């Protein structure tokens, strides 16, 4: 039998005086009481939920669940679709133009005046025409300093590992 680190001397002596049969019966009683208490607690939970009308709040119909079941077939994705190259479209939030989704990133780069090419083209245009082109109104001078801004803005630890 495992040693129980009892603090109480009196309790220790009492425990030692009990026969193992008595101890067995007592532990059985304790166990039954605890088990009954737990079951009672669960009954109260359910009873209360029914009384308040909140027991079946999250029930859903089986048919609706089947609709979203993962598909495990080779050649199909988890949605059961065959992966074919479909053309998706989107609207550029900058210029409101409609374009193919797979070409959105390069378009957005030019549209927002980011990246090396756009800046070069823009500054060339400014130099040539002498006035600012309306297309590149939001050309941000800050782009040229992006390398320095990066380090202060967020917590990269690369500086620790620089030799």
Q: Which of 68, 129, 131, 134 binds another protein (CB under 8 A)?
A: 68
Q: Which of 14, 22, 26, 47 binds another protein (CB under 8 A)?
A: 47
Provide the minimum distance between the beta carbon of 130 and another protein in the complex, in angstroms, as a whole number: 26
d(CA 115, CA 137): 15
3-class DSSP assignment, residue 144: helix
111, 127 Cβ separation under 8 angstroms:
no
Look-up: residue for tokens 């941000």?
Answer: 140
Find the largest Cα–Cα distance for the chain: 106
49, 55 Cβ separation under 8 angstroms:
yes
Residue 146 within binding range of another protein, rule CB under 8 A: yes
Q: Which of 55, 104, 121, 122 binds another protein (CB under 8 A)?
A: 104
Two structure tokens written together for 100: 């193919």
Binding track over 110-129 against another protein, x by CB under 8 A: --x-xxxxx-----------
Q: Which of 13, 48, 97, 135 binds another protein (CB under 8 A)?
A: 48
Two structure tokens written together for 149: 């801004």
Name the residues that contact another protein, by CB under 8 A: 33, 36-37, 40-41, 44, 47-48, 51-54, 57-60, 64-65, 67-72, 77-81, 83, 88, 90-94, 101-106, 108-109, 112, 114-118, 140, 142-143, 146-147, 149-150, 152-158, 160-163
């Amino acid at each position: 039998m495992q040693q129980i680190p009892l603090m109480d001397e009196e309790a220790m002596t009492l425990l030692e005086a009990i026969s193992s049969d008595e101890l067995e019966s007592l532990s059985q009683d304790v166990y039954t009481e605890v088990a009954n208490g737990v079951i009672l607690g669960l009954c109260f939970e359910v009873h209360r939920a029914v009384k308040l009308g909140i027991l079946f709040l999250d029930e859903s119909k089986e048919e609706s669940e089947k609709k979203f079941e993962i598909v495990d077939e080779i050649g199909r994705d988890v949605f059961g679709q065959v992966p074919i190259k479909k053309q998706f479209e989107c609207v550029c939030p900058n210029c409101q133009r409609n374009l193919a989704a797979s070409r959105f990133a390069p378009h957005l780069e030019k549209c927002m005046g980011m990246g090396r090419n756009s800046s070069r083209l823009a500054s060339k245009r400014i130099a040539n025409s002498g006035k600012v082109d309306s297309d590149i109104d939001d050309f941000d001078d800050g782009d040229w300093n992006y390398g320095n801004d990066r380090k202060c803005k967020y917590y990269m630890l690369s500086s620790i590992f620089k030799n």
